[in-house]
Structures are given as structure tokens and as C-alpha cells.
Amino acid sequence: MEHRQLGTSGLRISEITYGNWLTHGESMDQDAATACIRTALDCGITTYDTADVYAMGAAEELLGEALKGTRRESLEIATKVCLPVGEGPNDRGLSRKHIMESCHASLRRLRTDYVDLYQAHRFDERTPLEETLIAFDDLVRQGKVLYLGVSEWTAPQIGAALALARELGLRSRFVSNQAQYSMLWRVIEPEVVPLCEREGLGQIAFQPLAQGVLTGKYRPGEQPPEGSRAAAGGRAPRFIGRVLGDELLRRVQDLLPVAESAGLSPAQLAIAWTLQRPGVSTALIGATRPEQVRENAAAAGVRLSDEVMKAVDEILDPLVDRDPAKTARMMDVQPAWSKG
């Protein structure tokens, strides 16, 4: 497993990050989650991402349990705060009250004294940015958080936070941006990535497989394979339904020979492509079976040729979305992407 700097910070994270959105606490029980995490550890994955809102805290609990017994200093654990975790008026957002209470709850569930990376899961229009930044800075000063990041913020929002942190003289600042990013969804390229490169923020790219569609297992005109995310219960089909249109699936099938020519599986091709893009520090993958973890982890350290990168663009370009206005609007996909 290769490791990279998280932006220009001193923190090194694994090129592949294991995440547990829509898996731990929803489609997986403790035994299945532990099997995948043990496989991730065996593959050299040291970075693990979760959030307080995933399965309403159950995902953090399962992750903390599965990592029990692993030397804490050998891991980089990331979690998030902002999205609703209850019905109360202060059970959401980036107020000082919610940040402090959510952080303490996450630490209890994760069975740790600190998290390596604490991320603002979305931007909060209702809370003064100054209040949010000072609360985050206090957590860093208390040693409960080592580094700070954001997720799905626009370039103006990130820029405003960085400028205000400098104006306030805060010791801590954001070092990462967790954003949806794949061969198909490139909305961060025009504005977010250039700003982050100038300011030293690394990209934590989630959904590099576009909910599994870029693995090629979904075929146009056919029912989703048994055991796949699209055939599962819970919330997963709602999200993957965005990318099951026949036109999109046909183009993904055209990628299969490109992957084969590079000696890779389609999933490895998609992850390696993401890791090769400017500003990306890590690709965040999810899994429900250990073999998926092993396959995805093997994409670390792969260098794609210019010919392969060009072939990907030629096949997918008509359907690639680069609209920066869609940052943080993951459901706003092109009609050709979705199943009619």
C-alpha cells in the first residue's frame, strides 16, 4: 500500500481509504464489517472514514469495535459532523453546541481519545462561520482532533473559511476536502481543485466507482445482479439509481477492454484513474465482501499510461459532468445517467 500526504499537511494517509457509508449498520452486521476491515488492515490500508450520521451512529460503533486491538497510532481515523442525527433543533449543523457534543459522541462510539481528521460534512448557512471555525480550533487545541477538513463545500465556501481562519489568527485550518469524484462526476475540477491546490488541501475522493457502476457488473437492459448494491434493501438503491441508465451502462461496458489492456479489473482502472488526477490524496472505497477490499486495494501504486487516460475520456466524455454548480448536489445527475 502506498501512502500520500494529505494536501500539504504532515499527515500521511493510505492511497486507499476504507469508508462505511451505506454498509456498516445498514447492509452489514458486525461480523461482516469486521471481516472487511481485517482484510483492509492486511492490505495495508491505514485510513478509515465514517460519519456520525451513517446508520445514526451504528457505523462508528461497528468501526470502533472492528478496529479494537489494532495499535491506535498505526491508524488514521476520520469522521464528520453536520448532517441531522436526531429530531432536536441542535442535532444538526455546525454550531458550537452541536460540534462539541457530536465530537464527544463520535469519540465514545469509535472507542478512541482523538480522531485524526474531523470534517464538516456540509456547509451550514445558518451558523456564523466564525463560530464554526473557533469550535473546530478548540477541539484541535484540546487534542481531541488532529486535523480538520470539509466535505462537499464549494470553492467560495472553502475560500471564505481559509481567509477567516487567517484573519482570526487560528492555529488550525482545513487540510482536506472530501468530494464525490470519479471518471463520470468531475464537478470539482473547474473551481474546487484549483483552489485547494493553491491552498494546500488534499482531495479525499469518494464514490470513485460511481456506486459500483464503473465495475461493469451492471449491464444495459438487464436486472441488477443478485447481491449487488442495486438489488439490496435500504437506501442504497436510491443512490445507485442515479447511474443505471442504459446509455451510461453501455459506455461503461466499452471501458472493459481498456481495463483489460492495462492488466486491471474495471474497478481497479476507475480507482487508479482517480488517484492519478491532480490534487487527489486518497480514493475512498466501500465494500461488503473481503474480496472487494483486496481488489480495490490493488489499485494503489498503479500508474496509467497516457493512452489509457485518453481512452477513458474518449469513451465517457459525452456523459461526463463538469458543472461546478453541482458541487454538493450529488442527486443532480444528467438524464442520460438515470434509469428511466
DSSP strands (E only) in the chain: 3-5, 12-14, 16-19, 47-49, 76-81, 115-120, 145-151, 174-180, 202-206, 280-285
Q: Is 222 left (phi over 0), alpha (psi -120 to 50) or beta?
A: beta
3-state secondary structure of 209: coil
Q: Give the three cell numbers for residue 152.
A: 462537499
List of long-range contacts for 232-236, beta carbons under 8 Å, 24+ apart = 232/27, 233/27, 234/22, 234/26, 234/27, 235/22, 235/26, 236/22, 236/26, 236/27, 236/211
Position of cell 500520500? 4
User: What letter would DSSP give residue 223?
Assistant: P
Q: Give the three cell numbers for residue 105.
A: 459522541
Cβ–Cβ < 8 Å for 18, 293: yes
181 given a catalytic annotation? no
3-state secondary structure of 268: helix
Nearest to residue 179, comparing CAs of 159, 200, 149?
Answer: 149
Which residues are registered as beta bridge partners of 118? 79, 148
Helices (H), 43-77: 58-66
User: What letter would DSSP give residue 43?
Assistant: T
Estimate the crossing angle of helix 129-141 against helix 155-168, to 10 degrees: 60
Give one DSSP letter per residue of 7-31, joined into a string. TTSS-EEESEEEE-TTSBTTTB-HH
Catalytic residue among 18, 48, 54, 218: 54
The DSSP element (H or E) to which 238 belongs, if any, is: helix 236-240
Q: Which positions are catalytic?
A: 54
